[in-house]
């Protein structure tokens, strides 16, 4: 079995150094402040993040999810779909069906 240190050593650089909290994010102060307020007030709306690659969209939303869910809940409550990886409506529809089926068991 691979220990945690070995797993960390084998991660790609972008994953190894990805910010884990909203406070770890650099720049986007207004966005982080607004999202943090939504989370603290338990009023998180649907969000659509857009922008060029490398601007922190995925890191931002993963940091939000880590604030909202415990580590035990995280893997069952978070589905990461990246449009640059998953092109086509079929991928989105399939993921949507899987999410709805999973929610019936929660």
Q: 67: pLDDT confidence band, cut at 50, 70 and 90?
A: very high
Listed by start position, the domains of the chain span 4-103
Separation of alpha carbons 80 and 77, rounded Å: 10
Rg (CA), the chain: 16
The answer on pLDDT for 100 being more than 80 is no
pTM of the full structure = 0.72
Separation of alpha carbons 14 and 61, rounded Å: 15
CATH fold, domain 4-103, is Rossmann fold (3.40.50)
């Amino acid at each position: 079995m691979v220990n945690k240190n070995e797993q960390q050593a084998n991660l790609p650089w972008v994953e190894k150094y990805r910010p884990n909290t909203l406070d770890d994010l650099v720049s986007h102060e207004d966005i982080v402040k607004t999202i943090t307020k939504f989370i603290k007030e338990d009023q998180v709306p649907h969000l659509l993040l857009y922008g060029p690659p490398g601007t922190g969209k995925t890191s931002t939303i993963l940091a939000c999810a880590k604030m909202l869910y415990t580590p035990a809940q995280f893997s069952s409550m978070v589905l990461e779909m990246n449009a640059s990886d998953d092109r086509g409506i079929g991928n989105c529809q399939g993921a949507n069906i899987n999410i709805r089926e999973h929610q019936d068991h929660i």
